[in-house]
């Protein structure tokens, strides 16, 4: 039996564990996981928190884990890969230095400029008064970003000077020491994922998510309320353009800077009137995109990861002719607050897949415990049918 370890507890990790466990001779452990993951075949949760690096490493060592796959950004940014590599334990993800592509937006912008990767022009600020003065004089809309990790909620699109000033004050009041103010880019947004080892990579099908809370693209940005894949209006030509102008140059730039990237690279892109540009990079799979991308994989995810780690160029086979579309069931007041302990909806439709995230055991019931509770994904021959 081949053992794997997935670090994390949400819907993304549910999908990663489920995909890895499709191989009959493989046992997948998830730390800490959630209670519903134990119902997946060949998946077992382990009561170790995702930031407890010594305990995770000890578990991986004792259980002869073939490879550890890290789901969330926090342990990556805190150096879980560096810790495992010092112990000579196989792990798939970027080290702390390379993880700055997500943990520091200014680092990412500087790396894009050095690598010739197209992105929005920006200014960075550490002084609240200077930032307020700047946004007051700029033509809206503006994009205000917190420099560090913000669980997908550190970006505010301001449509007026008043909104921009309120956004600056809000992000600094929640602890952001540095802010970026970017030009607003107009166009079609999409997500491109790649599995990477240095400058060798395998791309995945294009996905598109929506981050606004309410219908009609209204309300505050969240960590993601749903996604679908593939995206019919982002064709192979546009995808190749994104690979040539963004994925290849940024990976080469990271390698040239002596911080080669390994793991999942997530490029949040936008197709503007002047070409494709980067909105942001993430250094892990996205949630909710993972839940609509990985079901399309016909190859063995574990084997692809191992081949990459061995320096090989793997060939991935993907499902054709079907669309996957998912929507998130969230806590009533998400993202403002979380209401735990709610009973879960009963979904018995055999044509949908449920990825559980914010759940816990309460007596003999499984109830909500978190903002995004679960995601329901359907597949069909057309997007409309899905």
Per-residue pLDDT, 180: 86
Helix residue ranges, H only, 23-159: 53-62, 73-78, 80-86, 100-103, 105-115, 128-137
- Residues in the chain, total: 386
Q: Residue 237: pLDDT above 80?
A: yes
Give the whole-angstrom CA distance, residue 78 versus residue 76: 5
Element (H, E) at 2: strand 2-8
Using H for helix, E for strand and C for coil, what is the string for 8-50?
A: ECCHHHHHHHHHHCCCCCEEEEEEECCHHHHHCCCEEECCCCC
Q: Residue 169: pLDDT above 90?
A: no
Note the pLDDT tens digit of each residue in 25-69: 999 999 999 999 999 999 999 999 999 999 999 999 999 999 999
Q: Which of 125-139, 176-190, 338-352, 353-367 has the highest mean pLDDT?
A: 353-367
| Residue 243 Cα to chain centre, angstroms | 18
Per-residue pLDDT, 245: 98
- Domain 321-386, CATH: 3.90.600.10
Q: Residue 148: pLDDT above 90?
A: no
pLDDT band at residue 126 using 50, 70 and 90 as cut-offs: confident
Q: Percent of the chain at pLDDT above 90?
A: 76
Paired residues of 281 in beta bridges: 267
pLDDT band at residue 119 using 50, 70 and 90 as cut-offs: very high
Per-residue pLDDT, 256: 98
Per-residue pLDDT, 21: 98
Q: What is the CATH architecture assignment of 121-183?
A: 2-Layer Sandwich (3.30)
Q: Residue 283: pLDDT above 80?
A: yes
**Whether residue 23 has a cis bond before it, omega within 30° of 0:** no
Q: So where are the chain's domains? A: 2-92, 121-183, 186-320, 321-386
Instruction: Record the pTM.
Output: 0.92
Q: What are phi and psi of 380, to 5 degrees?
A: -160, 170
Instruction: Check: CB of residue 168 under 8 Å from CB of residue 137.
Output: no
CATH superfamily, region 186-320: ATP-grasp fold, B domain (3.30.470.20)
Give the whole-angstrom CA distance, residue 239 versus residue 355: 27
Give the whole-angstrom CA distance, residue 205 versus residue 198: 20
pLDDT band at residue 178 using 50, 70 and 90 as cut-offs: confident
Per-residue pLDDT, 151: 59
Element (H, E) at 238: helix 236-242
- Domain 2-92, CATH: 3.40.50.20
Strand, coil or helix: what is 222?
A: strand
Per-residue pLDDT, 152: 55
Which segment of 109-118, 152-161, 350-359, 364-373 scores lowest on mean pLDDT? 152-161
Q: Residue 246: pLDDT above 90?
A: yes
Q: Residue 328: pLDDT above 90?
A: yes
Q: Residue 173: pLDDT above 80?
A: no
């Amino acid at each position: 039996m081949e053992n794997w370890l997935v670090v994390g507890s949400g819907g993304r990790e549910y999908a990663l564990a489920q995909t890895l466990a499709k191989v009959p001779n493989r046992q997948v452990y998830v730390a800490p996981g959630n209670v519903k993951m134990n119902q997946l075949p060949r998946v077992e949760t382990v009561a170790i928190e995702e930031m407890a690096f010594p305990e995770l490493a000890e578990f991986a060592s004792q259980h002869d884990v073939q490879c550890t796959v890290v789901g969330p950004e926090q342990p990556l940014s805190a150096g879980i890969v560096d810790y495992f590599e010092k112990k000579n334990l196989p792990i798939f993800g970027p080290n702390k230095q390379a993880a700055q592509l997500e943990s520091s937006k200014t680092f990412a912008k500087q790396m894009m400029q050095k690598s010739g990767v197209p992105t929005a022009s920006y200014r960075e600020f550490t002084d609240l008064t200077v930032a307020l003065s700047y946004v007051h004089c700029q033509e809206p809309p503006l994009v205000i970003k917190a420099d560090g990790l913000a669980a997908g909620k550190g970006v505010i699109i301001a449509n007026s000077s008043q909104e921009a000033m309120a956004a600056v004050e809000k992000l600094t009041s929640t602890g952001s020491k540095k802010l970026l103010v970017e030009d607003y880019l107009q166009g079609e947004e999409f997500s491109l994922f790649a599995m990477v080892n240095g400058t060798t990579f395998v791309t995945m099908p294009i996905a598109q998510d929506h981050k606004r809370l309410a219908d009609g693209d209204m309300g505050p940005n969240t960590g993601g309320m749903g996604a679908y894949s593939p995206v019919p209006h982002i064709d192979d030509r546009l995808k190749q353009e994104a690979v040539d102008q963004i994925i290849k140059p940024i990976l080469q730039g990271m390698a040239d800077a002596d911080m080669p990237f390994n793991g999942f690279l997530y490029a949040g892109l936008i197709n503007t009137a002047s070409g494709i540009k980067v909105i942001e990079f993430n250094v892990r799979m996205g949630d909710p995109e993972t839940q609509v991308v990985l079901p399309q994989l016909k190859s063995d995810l574990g084997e692809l990861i191992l081949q990459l780690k061995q320096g090989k160029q793997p060939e991935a086979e993907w499902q054709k002719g079907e669309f996957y579309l998912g929507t998130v069931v969230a806590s009533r007041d998400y993202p403002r607050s979380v209401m735990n302990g709610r009973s879960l909806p009963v979904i018995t439709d055999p044509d949908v897949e449920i990825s559980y995230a914010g759940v816990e055991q309460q007596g003999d019931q499984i109830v909500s415990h978190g903002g995004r509770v679960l995601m329901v994904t359907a597949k069909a021959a057309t997007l409309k049918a899905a």
